[in-house]
Amino acid sequence: MKMILASFLLVFLTSSVLFAQENSDRTHDMNKFLSKNIMYPIEARSNEVEGLVVIQATFDEQGQPIKTLVISGNDLLAEEVTRTVTALTQNWNPEYLGNRPKADSYLMSFQFKIVKEEKSSTKIKQMPMTEYADLMQNPEKQLNHGLENNPYNFKLYQERAELYTSLNLPVLAEKDLMLAEYFKQKMLTEVVIVGYQVKNKSLSALD
């Protein structure tokens, strides 16, 4: 039974640091710390709460964190992120910033996702069929939809800029390229926390 419960409670975390510069060993250490400490809250997983939590971290001239602030995200998920980021700042190494300027503010993104048995269980596939079909046939709508869910994703801005360029819309393309570069520089780390769906919610209360 415990082995079964362990499989349900298993959390996978993959993290990638979106630096303009190459990743350093210290950057890897930071993400390793996050991977060991962050968990998918049981209550959130039981209620299939998903979403993005974004933290803004401000640093002094020595590269030490002086303030962190939740700027978006579900309260339950944000509580776990705040706990983990607080532990990270208490074990902070200024080298985690890499070649970034020290006295500045940066973003940390945490995406919580539930793995469900049904392949069609994602929000996008819960749309009415006609709306879903229209979305799949319209690249711009797909990118807009993605940015609605994560307006900090620099890759989506880059992709939309390429689309606007192909459509001969240089002003819109340039705007998206500027946003892509901004978030690429400002995003200190991007973490994805994946938890398995709780098939029987009563199991989470068992030993």
Instruction: Provide the phi-psi class of 141: left if phi over 0, else alpha when psi is between -120 and 50, else beta.
Output: alpha
- Residues forming beta bridges with residue 79, ordered by sequence position: none
Q: What is the pLDDT of residue 74?
A: 94
- DSSP state letter for 51: E
Question: Considering the entire predicted model, what is its pTM?
Answer: 0.74
Average of per-residue pLDDT values in the chain: 80
Q: How many CA atoms lie within 13 A of 133 on its CB side?
A: 3
How far is it, in rounded angstroms, from Cα 192 to Cα 202?
26
Q: Which residue has the tokens 């933290």?
A: 55
**Percent of the chain residues past pLDDT 90, beyond the cut:** 62
Q: Which of 37, 17, 147 lies closest to 90 in space, CA to CA?
A: 37
Supply φ then ψ for residue 179, to 5 degrees.
-65, -40
pLDDT value, residue 116: 78
Single out the residue of 134, 4, 111 nearest to residue 50, CA to CA: 111
Q: What is the domain count for the chain?
A: 1
pLDDT band at 111 (very low <50, low <70, confident <90, very high): very high
Q: pLDDT category, 196, cuts 50, 70, 90?
A: confident
- The range of the structural domain enclosing residue 9 comes to 2-205
> How many helices (H) and strands (E) in the chain?
8, 5
Residue 190 in contact with residue 17, Cβ under 8 Å?
yes
21-52 tens-digit pLDDT: 345 567 888 999 998 999 999 999 999 999 99
pLDDT band at 207; cut points 50, 70, 90: very low
Predicted local confidence at residue 15, as pLDDT: 32
| Three-state secondary structure call for residue 70 | strand
For residue 147, the model assigns a pLDDT of: 92
pLDDT score of 16 more than 50: no
Q: What is the pLDDT of residue 128?
A: 64
- pLDDT band at 101; cut points 50, 70, 90: very high
